[in-house]
Amino acid sequence: MQGFEYPLSPHIRRHGPAGYDDYASYRDWLRDEFTFRCVFCLHRERWYGRSGTFDIEHFVPTSVDPLGKCEYSNLLYACRTCNVAKTDVLTVPNPCAVAFGDCLRIKMDGEVEALNADGKKLCDVLRLNSASNIEHRSRWMRMLQTLRESNLDLYGEFMAFPTDLPDLRHPRKRVPSNSKPEGTANCYFAQRERGTLPATY
Ligand SMILES: [Zn+2]
C-alpha cells in the first residue's frame, strides 16, 4: 500500500552539508533528505501536520561518539516516538547501509512483519508492534484506503509533499561546505519550481 512500503535499497544521501556547529541547523536538509517522513516507521510530516513533531536522530549516539554530534552522515530524520524508543541503542541497522524493505513489511492489518534478524531488531527496539503503534498505523491505513476509493483529492493531500518545502539553495541555507551541490539544485523545492515534483509520493 502506497506510503507503507519500506525502501528496497539502502538510502543514498543526496546532500552533503558540513560545518555547522549546531546539529539543529541540519533539520531542513534532513527533512528533504528523508522525504519528510520518519526513516523507521514511515510516518509523514503531513500526517502529523507539523514538522516540529519530528526529531533529528543521532544514529551513533552522542554518548558513544561526541564527535558525531554535528556530522551530517550520522544524522537521520525520525518521528518523536521512534527517536525516543531508539534512545542510545546501537544495534539497529542503519537505513543508509541496509535496505529496510529487506527487513520489514507492513501488513494490511497494520502489523509490521520482521523478514530477517535486522527487521526483528528494528521491531523490538522501536516497538513498531506496540499496541498503540499498530492501532495508530492501522487507523491511518484504513482511512487512506477509504479516501483513495471515495475522495481522491483529499487522499492526494495526505500523500503529497508538505507545502513548506525548504529551499536549500537559499542564501540563508548556505553551509560552510557542501560536498553534494547537485543535491541542493535538485531539492524538492527546486523540483516544485520546475514543475517536476510528483503529486504524491
Ligand atoms: Zn517513526
Residue 58: per-residue pLDDT: 95
Query: What is the full DSSP assignment across 35-98?
Result: TTB-TTT--BHHHHS-GGGEEEEESS-TTT-GGGGG-GGGEEEEEHHHHHHHTT---SPPTTTS
Residue 181: per-residue pLDDT: 93
58 CA → ligand 1 middle, Å? 14
DSSP code at position 105: E
DSSP code at position 171: G
Output phi, psi for 150, to 5 deg: -125, -20
194 CA → ligand 1 middle, Å? 31
Residues 8-14 have a mean pLDDT of 98
Burial pattern 147-176, b for ≥16 Cβ within 10 A else e, equals bbeeeeeebeebbbbbeebbbbeeeebebe
* Alpha carbon of residue 119 to chain centroid: 17
Output phi, psi for 166, to 5 deg: -80, 135
Compute and round to an integer the Cα radius of gyration of the chain. Answer: 17
Cα(149)–Cα(86) distance, integer angstroms: 36
89 CA → ligand 1 middle, Å? 15
Position 172, amino acid: R
Cα(151)–Cα(74) distance, integer angstroms: 40
Cα(159)–Cα(142) distance, integer angstroms: 14
Residue 91: per-residue pLDDT: 86
> Does residue 31 have a pLDDT over 70?
yes
| 122 within 8 A of 129, measured Cβ to Cβ | no
Residue 172: per-residue pLDDT: 80
Residue 184: per-residue pLDDT: 94
Q: Is the dihedral of CA 56, 163, 195, 189 positive or negative?
A: negative
159 CA → ligand 1 middle, Å? 17
105 CA → ligand 1 middle, Å? 15
147 CA → ligand 1 middle, Å? 23
* Structure confidence by residue, pLDDT tens digits, 69-112: 999 999 999 999 999 999 888 889 999 999 999 999 999 999 99
> Does residue 173 have a pLDDT over 80?
no
Residue 89: per-residue pLDDT: 85
* Structure confidence by residue, pLDDT tens digits, 32-74: 999 999 999 999 999 987 667 899 999 999 999 999 999 999 9
pTM of the predicted structure, to 2 decimals = 0.95
Output phi, psi for 110, to 5 deg: 95, -5
> Does residue 128 have a pLDDT over 90?
yes
Residue 51: per-residue pLDDT: 66
**In whole numbers, what is the pLDDT of the chain averaged over residues?**
95
Residue 71: per-residue pLDDT: 97
Q: Which residue in 165, 163, 175 sits closest to 15, CA to CA? A: 175
200 CA → ligand 1 middle, Å? 20
Residue 49: per-residue pLDDT: 73
Residue 103: per-residue pLDDT: 98
34 CA → ligand 1 middle, Å? 12
150 Cβ neighbours under 8 A, 6+ residues apart: none
176 CA → ligand 1 middle, Å? 30
Residues 10-30 have a mean pLDDT of 96
